[in-house]
């Protein structure tokens, strides 16, 4: 797609300035400890858990995936106690392993899905090994939430599977089908799931705070999808798998170039954040407002500093660049410092858990 790295950075900086992204002070040791704890417990699930069967995962890929998801969970859902962060991180790891299966497989290339709907409704074990493991684990997460949040998260998970089903066919829309890009993005974006996950039963009473919770779930959905698509563009254009993306779909359906599509996404994302914060300010619900503000800040931080989105590589490609590049470099360094990027050695943690798994297997023998 014909868009220079410098111009892409300018669009990112404009978005970050519109939403007032900033970080205050240096993170405390508790964040470092939480990142280590959530990472270790999450990766242990995929190494030890007997329910994870029929899923072959390369060690390095598992480490990088859990590292990415650990940061996303801890930064975005910082209000959660660790005992809720861990199953949430585990769930998102299942999702990313399905989104990027590594072996080239998709739902449309397997007969496992022929009986999916009927098996689901009749409470039967799923034939698809990834979904068999996911649905076996899912109640461990859902039991942390109230009734409405549980239903929202279940509904969103089923929509995600449908979104994967559509994406597996690599259909990117047709000229004039302007509703298609966001239709697909709402399916696979987990926006309402992400909103519901902010409100565990141990911290929020759905009966007393129901209206605020529902409003957050409704308003946060486009934020989750659009911010992700805005920062995913560089990664996706360098992905040999050629995944379906919102930017490319908009270019096809609305006959725009990449810069126009990204400009629209950036403006829509900034507007969605302003609307989300604005409605909560008017409702004067301080606890929920603070929770959502923390989510938005942490979610943006994650995209800026995690290796998955290759922001360091993007900056290096621009060299000294212009004033926008210098500004973006500063924001990236700020996010990396706030995210303890240089203070948590995930590979060392992964090796430690791997050695523990080996010791455990020897003891069992």
Residue 112 is predicted with a pLDDT of 79
Cα torsion angle, 270, 148, 288, 305, sign: negative
Q: Using 50, 70 and 90 to split pLDDT, how confident is the model at 128?
A: confident
What confidence tens digit (pLDDT) does each residue in 83-100 have?
Answer: 999 999 999 999 998 876
Query: Does pLDDT of 361 surpass 50?
Result: no
What confidence tens digit (pLDDT) does each residue in 8-44 have?
Answer: 999 999 999 999 999 987 888 999 999 999 999 999 9
Element (H, E) at 80: none
Q: What angle do CA 39, 43, 48 make, to 5 degrees?
A: 145
Query: Does pLDDT of 69 surpass 80?
Result: yes
- Kindly report the pTM of this predicted structure: 0.93
From residue 307, give the alpha-carbon distance in Å to each of 173, 295, 302, 323: 30, 20, 9, 23
Q: Using 50, 70 and 90 to split pLDDT, how confident is the model at 2?
A: confident
Query: Does pLDDT of 272 surpass 60?
Result: yes
**What is the distance between the alpha carbons of residues 53 and 56, in angstroms, rounded to a whole number?**
8
Please check whether residue 107 lies inside any domain of the structure.
Answer: yes
Give the percent of the chain with pLDDT over 90.
Answer: 74
Length of the chain as a residue count: 365
Q: Closest Cα to residue 244, out of 181, 190, 186, 306? A: 181
Q: Using 50, 70 and 90 to split pLDDT, how confident is the model at 364?
A: very low
Residue 290 is predicted with a pLDDT of 97
Q: Encode burial over 257-267: b for 16+ CB neighbours within 10 A, e otherwise.
A: ebbebbbbbbe
Please check whether residue 238 lies inside any domain of the structure.
Answer: yes
3-class SS at 200?
strand
Query: Does pLDDT of 274 surpass 60?
Result: yes
Residue 54 is predicted with a pLDDT of 67
Query: Does pLDDT of 358 surpass 50?
Result: no
Domain CATH code at residue 137: 1.10.600.10
Q: Using 50, 70 and 90 to split pLDDT, how confident is the model at 262?
A: very high
Please check whether residue 327 lies inside any domain of the structure.
Answer: yes
Please check whether residue 203 lies inside any domain of the structure.
Answer: no
Report the 10 Å Cβ neighbour count for 327: 17
Residue 357 is predicted with a pLDDT of 53
Phi/psi at 37 (5° precision): -65, -50
Residue 321 is predicted with a pLDDT of 78
The number of distinct structural domains making up the chain is: 1
Q: Using 50, 70 and 90 to split pLDDT, how confident is the model at 237?
A: confident
Query: Does pLDDT of 108 surpass 70?
Result: no
**Residue span of the structural domain in which 281 resides:** 5-198+208-364
Chain-centroid distance, C-alpha 311: 16
**Contact assessment for residue 40 and residue 347, using Cβ atoms and an 8 Å cutoff:** no
């Amino acid at each position: 797609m014909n868009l220079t790295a410098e111009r892409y950075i300018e669009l990112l900086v404009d978005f970050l300035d519109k939403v007032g992204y900033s970080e205050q002070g240096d993170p405390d040791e508790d964040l470092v400890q939480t990142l280590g704890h959530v990472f270790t417990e999450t990766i242990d699930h995929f190494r030890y858990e007997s329910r994870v069967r029929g899923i072959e995962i390369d060690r390095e890929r598992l480490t990088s995936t859990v590292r990415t998801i650990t940061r996303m969970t801890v930064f975005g859902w910082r209000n959660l106690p660790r005992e809720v962060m861990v199953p949430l991180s585990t769930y998102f790891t299942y999702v990313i392993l399905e989104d990027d299966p590594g072996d080239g497989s998709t739902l449309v290339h397997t007969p496992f899905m022929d009986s999916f709907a009927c098996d689901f409704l009749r409470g039967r074990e799923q034939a698809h090994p990834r979904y068999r493991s996911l649905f076996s684990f899912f109640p461990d997460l859902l039991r942390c939430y109230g009734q409405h949040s549980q239903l929202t998260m279940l509904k969103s998970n089923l929509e995600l599977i449908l979104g994967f089903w559509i994406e597996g066919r690599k259909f990117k829309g047709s000229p004039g089908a302007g509703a298609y890009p966001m239709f697909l993005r709402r399916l696979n974006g987990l926006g309402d799931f992400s909103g519901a996950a902010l409100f565990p039963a141990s911290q929020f009473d759905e009966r007393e705070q129901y209206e605020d919770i529902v409003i957050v779930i409704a308003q946060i959905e486009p934020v989750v999808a659009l911010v992700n698509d805005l920062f995913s563009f560089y990664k996706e254009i360098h992905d040999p798998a050629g995944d379906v993306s919102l930017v490319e779909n908009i270019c096809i359906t609305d006959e725009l170039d990449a810069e126009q599509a990204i400009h629209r996404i950036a403006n829509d994302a900034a507007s969605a954040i302003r609307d989300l914060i604005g409605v909560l300010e008017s409702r004067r619900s301080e606890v929920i407002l603070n929770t959502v503000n923390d989510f938005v800040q942490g979610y943006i931080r994650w995209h800026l500093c995690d290796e998955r989105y290759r922001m360091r590589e993007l900056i290096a490609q621009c060299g000294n660049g212009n004033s926008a590049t210098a500004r973006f470099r500063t924001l990236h360094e700020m996010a990396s410092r706030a995210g303890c990027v240089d203070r948590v050695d995930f590979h060392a943690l992964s090796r430690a858990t791997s050695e523990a798994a080996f010791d455990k297997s020897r003891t069992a023998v």
